[in-house]
Amino acid sequence: MNEAIALRNLGLLALLQEDYCTAYAQCAAGLAVARAVGDIWAVSLSLNALANTVLHRGDLATARKLTEEAVVLHRHLGERFLLAYCLDIMGQVATAEGQYVGARAALRESLHLSQDMGNPAGTADTLESIAALAATETHPEPAVQLAGAAAGIREQVGAQQSPMRRATLDHWLAAVRQALGAETTTLAWEAGRGMAIEQAVDLALTATVPPRDRARSQIARRSRSRD
């Protein structure tokens, strides 16, 4: 097990340095060792790391397959922290594939788990992933607000955003920033940054409601406000 975990850790270090070839080699080697010795926990850890690596290499099909296997193991082991992390990766993969129903489900569960465990850094990660989802579904202002809310949470708890996550988020938000313009983008970002974590979570959950249900909810709210 020690060898598998050591290889996985070396892979994560390479991933943070955006050395994806080395990260892949180390994480794949760690997974092979973990499978060989039959250590399910080490397998689950290595699957998470390898899935995140291949996601950033653009191999979405392999990333999806790895996260699907990992989610089953995390549920079996009762590893809620690892499950939340893996579901966040699964949601990112589904967003990139345009599989928005799956993305919403995975990210909602990840967010609920992080909140239940009192893990603000994990909450910030998933808020950013939901911001990306909102951007792809052409909800520009909520997307920027969620990104701002994640930044605010990170500032409060001292959880730095990795350069890799920052680059990924910037990629997803580029189009909505252009659509909104600099002034509106700044206002939306600061509005999100000033939100309490509960407000940010509520906004994220609203953003992950299917569009048809979201429209019905908005109509119902307008109707109640008129009564």
For 56-94, how does the pLDDT look when each residue is reduced to its tens digit (9 = 90+)? 999 999 999 999 999 999 999 999 999 999 999 999 999
Averaged pLDDT for residues 122-142 = 94
| pLDDT for the residue numbered 216 | 57
Averaged pLDDT for residues 18-28 = 96
In single-letter form, the type of residue at position 129 comes to: S
| pLDDT for the residue numbered 36 | 96
| pLDDT for the residue numbered 1 | 58
Distances (CA, A) of 180 to 10, 79, 152, 185, 187: 41, 40, 21, 6, 10
Question: Mind giving me the DSSP string for 35-68?
Answer: HHHT-HHHHHHHHHHHHHHHHHTT-HHHHHHHHH
Q: What is the pTM of this model?
A: 0.90
Q: How confident is the model at residue 138 (pLDDT cuts 50, 70, 90)?
A: confident
Q: How confident is the model at residue 137 (pLDDT cuts 50, 70, 90)?
A: confident
Going from N- to C-terminal start, the domains of the chain cover: 1-78, 79-210
Mean pLDDT for all residues in the chain: 92
| pLDDT for the residue numbered 226 | 54
Averaged pLDDT for residues 189-211 = 92
Long-range contacts of 2-10, Cβ-Cβ distance < 8 Å, separation of 24 or more: 3/30, 3/33, 4/30, 4/31, 4/33, 4/34, 4/37, 4/39, 4/42, 4/43, 4/45, 4/46, 5/30, 5/42, 5/45, 6/30, 7/33, 7/46, 8/42, 8/45, 8/46, 8/49
pLDDT at 224 over 50: no
Give me the CATH code for the 1-78 domain, please.
Answer: 1.25.40.10
Q: What is the pLDDT of residues 106-117, one digit of tens each?
A: 999 999 999 999
